[in-house]
A and B are shown apart, each in its own frame.
Chain A
Amino acid sequence: MSRILSALAATALIGTTALVSGALPAAAEGLKIGFLATLSGPPAVLGEHMRDGFLLAVKEGGGKLGGIETDVIVVDDELKPDAALTKVQGLIERDKVDMLAGVVFSNVMMAVYKPIIESETIFVGANAGPSPIAGKGCSKYFFSAAYQNDQNHEVMGRYAAQKGYEKVVVMAPNYQAGKDAIAGFKRHYTGKIVEEIYTKLGQLDFSAELAKISEEKPDALFTFMPGGMGVNLVKQYDQAGLKESVPFLSTFTVDETTLPATKDMGVGLYSGAEWAADLDTPANKKFVASFEATYGYAPSLYAAQGYDAAQLIAGAVAMVGNASDKAALIQALESAPFDSVRGDFSFNTNHFPVQDFYLVQAVKSGDKYTTSIVEKVFDDFGDAYAGSCKM
């Protein structure tokens, strides 16, 4: 029931922002943001978290970001690069948005990145950070409020090395992001990878793979299984009795978007992340409380990134005083003029964040399932591609 209510509330919220802005013809002085997220299909939950986080910041500002009346146009990319492209072109040409933000998936990012950059529209990414746009293809118009794709995997590799795990099995879906995940893990891992398992994208049943893992008896498993695949894996990992014997190191598998489904079965599993619900900063405490009060569910890192993306825009707009002076806005954005829920946050030369990364663990507190920080793995960590970025 609360889910339905929160869905209604979110819809009402979008409806009202649209109405309010529609009633105000003074759009020239306002700030118009096109927000692109995956809101249909199985991975819609990630997009919903990200969108709710972004809209929360606008709501907290009383419909304003940086003191300027803000109109957010939320569009669903349907996880289809071609559909995303058409919608983005509509946002730029028809709606004449001042900025674009969002994007959950890297394949969508790769499709919309070029046209947005070429239209010289400021673009604030709130999740996907594929390596081409962090390296050679970087642009002064693009800022990531999230991370570079490899980084969270690197966290787990570094942690496995620190922990002295000598034999690790790695498992990921057989597609580009899965291969990148394993490459990222290997960058800082020093032990031996005894088995590399590539599964079918969208695989439901992992019993065959789990039997193989039991037989290998590795010191740990590293896996990247986003969305429903991760839920299936976590459930079956627990049911196969592996949770107790083989540490489960993961990325984008165990978080607040999947824990409502895996519940106790996910508790105790590890993940690499740049944010966790109990990250001890005043901004984060306020964000988590306000998010739960508004939407009735626990925020995930996607929600935190969406919120930070909006706060980043708000900070820059407040500094410049308007939403039309692009050069000044870019300069303002570069100084990361906001109080990130993640604490340390500054921009690297490629406009990707330099931030801290943590080992987090799924915990149960009361009747809520959230992620909690175990230890910091990287301090002020930039990505591996900044060197090849020339702006």
Chain B
Amino acid sequence: MSLTLLAVQTLNGLQLGILLFLVAAGLTLVFGVMDFINLAHGVQYMLGAYLAVAAFQLTGGFWSALPLALLAALACGLALEFVVFRRLYDRSHLDQVLATFGVIIFLNEAVKTIWGAAPLSVPLPALLDGSIPLTETLAYPVYRVALIGAGIAVAALLYLLVTRTRLGMLVRAGASDAEMVAALGVDIRRLFMLVFGFGAMLAGFAGILAAPIFSVEPGMGDNLLILAFVVIVIGGIGSIRGAFLSALIIGLTDTLGRSFATDLARLLLPPAAANDVGPALASMLIYVLMAAVLFVRPAGLFPVRSA
């Protein structure tokens, strides 16, 4: 285990964390501000990826496809809000879970009907195709570095938006006490729609960025959704800062666990047993982490709600 390998794995962990953050940011806003459990958030990530495929086929270039797919993702998010979610804000969490789960099933099948069940993909943009050699054997793909950069930029932008603008102030106020904000004369419905659309666009953005490195297929968002929930629970529901830090922690824990758990297990156990224990340990590591955080800080690392 060399130092460069450790460095590469750390980069890998950061990159996974950034991707998780992009998905979790929208989820935590919607959950935190609107108290709305949106299981369909993962599907919006999938939609982003499929829209990237469609936009790429239409325009033939990654850079022209990006804004197009982003706008389409926003439109899809707003349409979903208008048609389905708007009716669910006042309902119980169980109703929300049921209805948004229905949206998952519907959209997964819809995507399959339109694009087929076979996995699709978007080629890497030529500008970011290639890798940076680190040592003789280890190299790091440029696209993944760009992905980390894009994620950090979005995080910074969100931070400014939430802490420095009037809209951000309303969002924060909505997260702590939505009724009071409404009583003060703010059109909370419109605020909700904005937040929701923005969250959907962020998930779509993650999907678009993921399309060149991951397989674009029906149900691709379902696994990520679970991780995104882990992220917002650890980070504190409604907190962008919490989501950012916990996404990085989860990304790093998962990646480093996957790369080194088996090696560590081998120090203590015979090889055959280590091969069984290592991967099992690696896949439960983030859940162990979540349990530990919740034990010490039941409201997450950066709780927003005072009540």
Residues of A within 8 A of B (CB): 3-4, 7, 40-42, 44-45, 48, 174, 196-200, 202, 204-205, 207-209, 211-212, 214-215, 217, 227-229, 231-232, 235-236, 239-241, 257-258, 260-263
Contacts and interface: CB of A to CB of B under 8 A. Distances in A.
B280 interface: yes
Given A200-B283, A211-B138, A261-B118, 15 more contacts: A3-B115, A40-B112, A41-B218, A45-B119, A174-B279, A208-B255, A209-B259, A215-B137, A228-B215, A229-B215, A231-B121, A232-B215, A239-B141, A241-B141, A260-B119
B218 A240 contact: no
Given A45-B116, A174-B283, A262 B9 contact: no
Contact of A207 (B2, B15, B113, B212): B15
Nearest to A266: B121
A207 B12 contact: yes
Contacts of B282: 200
B220 interface: yes
Contacts of A207: 12, 15-16, 144, 255
Contacts of A199: 258, 279
B258 A208 contact: yes
B215 A235 contact: yes
A314 to B, nearest CB: 27
Contacts of B212: 235
Contacts, number: 129
B214 interface: yes
Contacts of B38: none
Residue of A40, A48, A227, A257 with most chain B CB atoms under a 10 A cut-off: A40
A251 B137 CA distance: 26
Contacts of B220: 42, 204, 228
A235 B279 contact: no
B223 interface: yes
Interface string B249-260: 000000110110
B121 A261 contact: yes
A235 B217 CA distance: 14
Contacts of B153: none
The 3 A-B residue pairs with the shortest CB-CB distance in the complex, in nearest-first order: A231-B215, A44-B117, A261-B119
A7 B116 contact: yes
B279 A200 contact: yes
Contacts of B217: 42, 227-228, 231, 261
A211 B223 contact: no
Given A41-B218, A232-B215, A235-B214, A212 B283 contact: no
Nearest to B275: A196
A92 B36 CA distance: 46
A362 to B, nearest CB: 14
A204 B214 contact: yes
A42 B275 contact: no
Contact of B113 (A7, A174, A228): A7
B53 to A, nearest CB: 10
A204 B283 contact: no
A235 B255 CA distance: 18
Given A228-B215, A239-B131, A260-B120, A214 B137 contact: yes
Contacts of A240: 131, 139, 141
Contacts of A239: 124, 131, 141, 143-144, 213
B137 A263 contact: no
B138 A236 contact: no
B5 interface: yes
B262 interface: yes
B139 A214 contact: yes
Nearest to A41: B219
21 contacts: A3-B116, A40-B109, A40-B112, A42-B117, A45-B118, A174-B279, A200-B282, A204-B214, A208-B12, A208-B256, A209-B258, A215-B138, A231-B119, A232-B214, A239-B131, A240-B141, A241-B141, A261-B120, A261-B217, A262-B121, A263-B123
